[in-house]
Structure 1
Amino acid sequence: MSQLTRRGALRLFGSLGAAGMAAPVLSACTSSGNDAAAPSKGTVKIGVLTPQSGTNKSQGDDMRQGFDLYLNLNGRRLGGYDVQVLNADEGESAASGKAALEKLHKDGAVAVTGVANAAVMTEVRDLVESAHIPLIGSNASPQLLNTLYIWRTSYVDTEPGAALGEHVASKLNNGTAYMIAPEAIGRDGIQGFQNTLTSAEGKIEGPPTYVPQGTTNFGTWLNPLKNNTNIKAVFAFFSGASAEAFVKNYAAAGLKGKIPLYGPGFLTEGPLLAQQGATAEGVWTSLNYSPDLDNATNRRFSAEYQKRHQVNPTTYAMASYDAGAVLDKALSLLDGPLSGETLNAAIGRVGQISSPRGNWQFNQNRSPQQRWYLRQVRIDGAVLANNVVSELVTLG
């Protein structure tokens, strides 16, 4: 199916009324342990820890909506248990995120999902381990966690760059790649890209450029690139307001169409693309998901998400939907009493997850072994969209 036809079909499915869609979707998505006619195994409290205000609010909205969609398509049950969702605001700092998780633990959450901020994930690590609370992280992805109770349905921050390195190396034509990212939080992304690019005999333009977190004016770093004929690609590891600004600054500097711009999917993901508008056209990104992937699970997920929220789902929504699937399978595997310890052990046995991104499973580091896709921002009908061009590599 062509990209245009594929998206058109999703919009058609998304516009159908509940009577037309409910029966096939529910029968396909409901797990064997969630028969609405079967007696409930009891109630399980699941914490959803996401930003509800501030710079990461849009990601938090997507994460909550993705998890909620899984519940709605499964009769508000996971593994035969009725679910009581405990929502908590992680805020914008490590301290606020830790305080929110402490409250979820106090309120009886047997497991938690969410977390948008990598600093929060690092801050709560010791609490999660000592309290034996399984945490299914569906966004924040620092490389080094080394825990027993933290699992991730998203990816590790080195992987978006690692997925692109070999592809970009093949496009350099004896030129170089310039790398730019925010201080501290961008180092994993740069490392992943640089390692795979140089392994594929690609060359780097000097040391990586690290800019202060929150930077929105990039002229100081972009203007010198105009006259450097050796640079054949730019890799930019930005998200949020910095990503919006970087793409706009890149076009304003006259680099759009002159030097191809590459980055992780969150450089142009979700509302950012609408905010960037035409300045983003042509940007190349790598990501583990796109709403135009043509598989049965994604057709159901994407159509239902569009019907409920009138927008395409993002990777944040997808990873949170998958967190629901992980908990569903794990809870269905329990034979004895439910506790953080028994649930965590069951998560280790869930095996393959049928996902909108394509099937995946946890690796030894408790993150997904999954396919990565090359996308480009292109006109799709009347709007710009991140269109899948090809598969890149399997990582994890």
Structure 2
Amino acid sequence: MSQLSRRGALRLLGSLGAAGAAAPFLSACGSSNDDDTSTASKGTVKIGLLLPETGANKFIGDDMRQGFDLFLTLNGRRLGGYDVQLVAADEGETKESAKAAMEKLKQEKVLAVTGIASAQAMVEVRDIVEQAHIPLIGSNASPPQLSTLYIWRTSYVDTELGVALGEYVASQLGGGTAAMIASESIGRDAVQGFQQTLVSAGGRIESQATYVPAGAADFNSFLQPLRNSQTVKAIFAFFAGSQAEAFVKQYSAAFRDKNPKIPLFGPGFLTEGPLLKQQGDAARDVWTSFNYSPDLDNAANRRFAAEYQKKHQVSPTTYAMASYDAGAVLNQALGLVEGELSGESLNAAIGRVGQISSPRGEWQFNTNRSPQQRWYLRQVRWDGAVLSNNVVSELDTLG
């Protein structure tokens, strides 16, 4: 099935009313209890949502909240047979605000926490989580080295964002080289993963990566020398938020009259969510790797994407998907707990959760408590009158 027909099918499901159209796919959501409110509740569990409600990452926090809430809605507002009381705390945009938010949730005596947008925040709350024995299901960025007992990830570890692209880009160089640029605040792990994988696959780098300050908005000093390069055949860029918007626009302008232009590769959030609309046609043909795309053709995603589109009038992002899966993990784990329910017993049950039938495709936790999952190569293309991240092919399974 072509990508266009997949997207057309998703729109059709949404327009017909996804709840009715997608009913046959209930069992694919990773739960045997979907929509089951016919039995008596086992009681109430208090779940913390640690999300950025303010600051530059607010749009990520909004998507994460909406993804988790959608799972609850489709599951009768229960997890593992328990009614759910949500307690929200604002991660903000600093490690200090994240730590304060986690302390608040600890004082609220939540059973478990989900969320966290930034890797810095994950590191900052680690000790609180471990000492309080509160299971944390992280659903966005996470540093590669995070030795814990109580922190699990439904997203990825940051090196994988580059590792997923390394071999493919190496195959496209044709004897040339790859140039790399990233934000100094968030890009180093992914750049390291990309470089190591590319070199191992026989590719060559032009020079060491260029790291720019987090607030930088002018990238022409990097882009202009590449216009006349005889060796650079690919650019790998790691940016998010306003920097991603600015970089993609300046990349497009720098190569507008050059044919062929050097292709741009990066992690999926280079063009994810509202950024793609803000970048407009400048993002056309940009290549990204990610663990999710809303046009994936599987039963769980047909339901998830249609229901999300119906409720929010936009396609879901990886942020929403990973938070939706956090709901699936908690749902299954709570159903596995035997005896007294506590942070310790729930954490042990999470370790017994098997495969999750996810919108991204089936995955399971590895020994590092992060997903073993398939990654996808996407390209920005016009889908009718809308620019979209379209899946081109599968990449490696990582984790």
User: Which residue of structure 1 aligns with residue 253 of structure 2?
Assistant: 252
Deviations 1:107-142, CA, capped at 9 Å, x for gaps:
121100000011111110111111111110000211
Deviations 1:44-94, CA, capped at 9 Å, x for gaps:
011111111221111111000000000000000000110111111111100
Map 1:171-190; keep pairs closer than 5 Å. Answer: 171-190=172-191
Residue 224 (structure 1) shift: 1.5
Q: 1:29 to 1:261 in 2, by over 3 A?
A: closer
User: Which residue of structure 1 aligns with residue 101 of structure 2?
Assistant: 100
Distance 2:144 2:380 in 1: 28
Q: Which amino acid aligns with 1:348?
A: G
Q: 1:19 to 1:319 in 2, by over 3 A?
A: closer
Decide which of 310, 315, 323 is 1:312's aligned counterpart. Answer: 315
Decide which of 352, 356, 360 is 1:353's aligned counterpart. Answer: 356
Distance 1:22 1:225 in 2: 48
User: Which residue of structure 2 aligns with residue 382 of structure 1?
Assistant: 385
Contact 1:63 1:316 in 2 (8 A): yes
Distance 1:23 1:182 in 2: 43
Q: Which runs of 5+ in 2 are unaligned?
A: none
Distance 2:152 2:94 in 1: 21
Residue 31 (structure 1) shift: 3.1
Distance 2:219 2:13 in 1: 42
Identity %: 73
Distance 1:246 1:191 in 2: 20
Contact 1:334 1:346 in 2 (8 A): yes
Q: TM-score, normalised by structure 1?
A: 0.97
Distance 1:72 1:185 in 2: 33
Distance 1:184 1:64 in 2: 25
Q: Does 1:201 align with 2:197?
A: no
Q: Which amino acid aligns with 1:7?
A: R
Q: 1:19 to 1:268 in 2, by over 3 A?
A: closer
Map 1:153-302; keep pairs closer than 5 Å. Answer: 153-254=154-255, 257-302=260-305
User: Which residue of structure 1 aligns with residue 397 of structure 2?
Assistant: 394
Runs of 4+ more than 4 Å apart: 21-30
Q: Which runs of 5+ in 1 are unaligned?
A: none
Moved more, 205-214 or 231-240: 205-214
Deviations 1:300-343, CA, capped at 9 Å, x for gaps:
00000000000000000000000000000000001111111111
Distance 2:225 2:342 in 1: 57
Decide which of 339, 345, 364 is 2:342's aligned counterpart. Answer: 339
RMSD: 1.5
Contact 2:164 2:289 in 1 (8 A): yes
Residue 184 (structure 1) shift: 4.1
Distance 1:23 1:360 in 2: 22
Q: 1:315 to 1:276 in 2, by over 3 A?
A: same
Q: Which amino acid aligns with 1:177?
A: A
Residue 29 (structure 1) shift: 4.4
Residue 227 (structure 1) shift: 1.7
Deviations 1:125-170, CA, capped at 9 Å, x for gaps:
1111111111100002111111111100000110011011011001
Moved more, 82-91 or 323-332: 82-91
Distance 2:298 2:348 in 1: 30
Distance 2:26 2:175 in 1: 53
